[in-house]
Homo-oligomer: A and B are copies of this chain.
Amino acid sequence: MADFPKPPLLPLISLFLVAFFHPVLSSRFIRSPGGAASRFLGKFAAGGGSGATPYSYETRYFEQNLDHFGFSELPSFRQRYLINTEHWAGPEQLGPIFFYCGNEGDIEWFASNTGFLWEIAPRFRAMVVFPEHRYYGESMPYGSKEVAYKNVTTLAHLTAEQALADFAVLITDLKRNLSAQACPVVLFGGSYGGMLAAWMRLKYPHIAIGALASSAPVLQFEDVVPPETFYDIVSNGFRRESVSCFNSIKESWDAIETEAHKSNGLSYLTKAFGFCRKLKSVDDLYDWLESAYSYLAMANYPYPSDFLMPLPGNPIKEVCRKIDDFPNGTDVLKRIFAGVSVYYNYTGRVDCFDVDDDPHGMSGWNWQACTEMVMPMSSSRNGSMFPTYDYNYSSMVEWCFKSYHVKPRPNWITTEFGGHGFKKVLGNFGSNIIFSNGLLDPWSGGSVLESVSETIVALVTEKGAHHLDLRPATAEDPDWLLEQRAVEVKLIRGWLDEYFEKTTKKKKIIRVFDM
């Protein structure tokens, strides 16, 4: 067995960046290949905030097999799930089951941020279920995160296929216990959860009648889409607002590099960017900035939000306003610091910033990125405002082996779920999937942006960001968002109608919803 060190606890909760996953990675690998990409990824997969949710549910636990596809004598584990049956029409009336495919974080956090599902469920008289993804939140094999994340053997079963099987087993058992075998299940998911929802509909059509896969980059593997897509879209988000803003950010990397090479350069940079503790490496600053820009692009919502961080509406516009709002000749570091402060300190209440310096911040997504979720990412010379970076697979392999004693399987996801020729394959196969994407979202480039068939459809909004459609309704929702959600509701209703029609043909059952 690998003699992997016991990981320290992740001191990242304060960043509250749970729901997203992110490329492996630009500057860290350029500057210290195989070194410490973990910090950057780590925070996105860390156990999330358990902040109060506006929705009511019961928390339950379900005993799962750790390995659905093998029969070694492994301990089972308790999967947490949230459930609300308040509005459910019940089994006789074929009340639907709305099932969110939990992704890489605490399920309560996803439940809080997936208002759309909660809001439409009563109109469908649907039960609501939010199962947690194994190895996240409270759903820890081996009783604790410490043990579950200990080494390659304990982490071995943290895979997407096992998570999908968990969902399938849970749904089947839940329905059996409620005599609800005939009740239709509709899947929902955002980001990695959206990938799970789409894959689940494809792999388990007997379990769920359809899936809304929001911002699901199911094609961000191998060479199915160009590796520059992600950073190009982030960069375009800034250039669209202001070319000078884009240029300031693009120039800033060299300026940082220059400073870093001076004596006392790190001290200077620490002070210039207001960190609480002295930077150990300039790479930490790179990552800190890159994170901010990337997340700003994902959370570039049209109204103020508090999803990742408290942010104004159209936050990139605000960042660029700050960056551009200096007299000519102002130091570029000063400019971009003002910009990223919109992200890290919009409330103005932060005195100084923390950079995570956990060199082996083991987190679930790190593991997933080192095993199955191998998503090639580059930063292009011209299209990107980030430092130029060509995807370096062997650096990643090296880092993953050093960190986890594990070898990535870069071709596995496309072998298991497809990727190349996605549209052609599913043109006469499968049905009832919505791929919804907002073009401001950097992940949209790895998703499905054209309808595949009459029933596997793409919904694209020009001004949407990362799974905006799944967020709770607000008074400021623009018309195009209301329209997008209305189309989604209509499509889901169509799936259910078709299902009810087929089912009630044989049995005399009254259709349950009326909208």
Contacts and interface: CB of A to CB of B under 8 A. Distances in A.
B416 A168 contact: yes
Contact of A70 (B159, B172, B205): B159
A427 to B, nearest CB: 7
Interface string A167-180: 01100100000000
A292 interface: no
Contacts of A422: 206
Count copies of this chain in the complex.
Answer: 2
A161 B409 CA distance: 18
A493 interface: no
Contact of A156 (B70, B371, B424): B70
Given A69-B161, A69-B162, A181-B420, A203 B205 contact: no
Contacts of A405: 73
Interface in A131-173: 152-153, 155-157, 159, 161-162, 165, 168-169, 172
A257 to B, nearest CB: 37
Contacts of A54: none
Nearest to A205: B429
A406 interface: yes
Contact of A157 (B70, B161, B169, B419): B70
A431 interface: yes
A421 interface: yes
B2 A206 contact: no
B429 A172 contact: no
Contact of A203 (B68, B69, B203, B207): B203
A458 to B, nearest CB: 18
Contacts of A68: 69, 161, 412, 416
Interface in A425-450: 425-432
Residue with the greatest number of chain B CB neighbours at <10 A, chosen from A405, A421, A428:
A428
Interface string A386-426: 00000000000000000001100101101111111110111
11 contacts: A1-B73, A2-B73, A68-B412, A165-B415, A165-B416, A206-B414, A206-B421, A206-B422, A207-B415, A428-B432, A428-B498
Nearest to A502: B424
Interface string A476-515: 0000000000000000000000100011000000000000
A419 B206 CA distance: 8
A455 interface: yes
Contacts of A202: 205
- On chain A, which size bracket covers the interface? 35 or more
A72 interface: yes
A432 B430 CA distance: 12
B427 A430 contact: no
A159 B69 contact: yes
A97 to B, nearest CB: 15
Contacts of A421: 206
Contacts of A65: 409
Contacts of A70: 67, 69-70, 156-157, 159, 162
Interface of A: 1-2, 65, 67-73, 152-153, 155-157, 159, 161-162, 165, 168-169, 172, 181, 202-207, 371, 405-406, 409, 411-412, 414-422, 424-432, 455, 498, 502-503
A155 B202 CA distance: 29
A71 B156 contact: yes
A371 B68 CA distance: 11
A72 B206 contact: no
A73 to B, nearest CB: 6
Contacts of A417: 206
A359 B65 CA distance: 30
B205 A418 contact: yes
Contact of A71 (B1, B152, B418, B498): B152
Contacts of A161: 68-69
A455 B429 CA distance: 10
A68 B67 CA distance: 11
Contacts of A1: 73
In the A-B complex, the 4 residue pairs with the closest CB atoms: A206-B418, A72-B156, A205-B429, A70-B156
A412 B465 CA distance: 39
Contacts of A155: 71
A300 B416 CA distance: 39
Contacts of A73: 1-2, 152-153, 405
A428 B425 contact: no
A172 B415 contact: yes
Nearest to A157: B70
A415 B412 CA distance: 23
Given A172-B411, A427-B502, 5 more contacts: A68-B412, A68-B416, A206-B414, A206-B422, A429-B430
